[in-house]
Structure 1
Amino acid sequence: MRAGRLRHRVTIQRQRQGEGKDEVGQPVEGWEDVATVWAEVTGLTGREYIASGGEQSEVSMQILMRYRAGIDETMQVIHPPPTGGGETYEIISALPDARRRQLTLMCKSVRRS
């Protein structure tokens, strides 16, 4: 893998479970950083559709990075400034190459309200 392709800084996060309780006694969940790595972020497709009476949009992304064990579909990727616009992507699949030198993350955009 050529290092010159890895020009975007991304942060991989996993969901934090049960770190406390809110005012009604429910567990508080959030995200914690696993790693911040250099990667290549490429847009694949984008589409708009109508669901639940409202217009929705979805963007599919491919994120290529050096191989790192433990990355899976329960995690998300943040693409913060200056190399990104603060986008959040849900990992759909994590695909290592045969020699485990690189990892391709297939992702979709996440809209946070």
Structure 2
Amino acid sequence: MWWSKAGAALIAILPVLAYADATIPLEITCPAVPGARQTNVQVFDGPPADGASLIADSGDMHHGTWALGYVYDSRRVVSVQCGYADGQTREIVLKSRADTCSYLIDKSGSAHLSCK
């Protein structure tokens, strides 16, 4: 009879295991800078200091998407640089794999980024 309890327990946790393996979006938020509006986002293969800025695979001045899986497949990381109206920048390193990042520039001119 112990095997029926073990089987029932396994069946009960299977949905949890399946959910745990699902891709969960990384909501990347550029940090707020007092008195400065965020105006742009750049994505890099490696650190921004290396200068390997990536061009979005699709999009225009208001929205677009980068495919990034190949960067992680090559054992490198993606970095995001957030730009502000006063010229300041902030960097975020995406150590966890993100296969795509998408940006949106809203009507106020503020930039938003979502990676998954």
Q: TM-score, normalised by structure 1?
A: 0.32
Q: Say which structure is richer in strand.
A: 1
Name the structure where helix makes up a greater proportion of residues.
Answer: 2
Q: Which has the higher contact order (CA 8 A, sep 6+)?
A: 2
Larger Rg: 2
Q: Tell me the TM-score normalised to structure 2 length.
A: 0.31
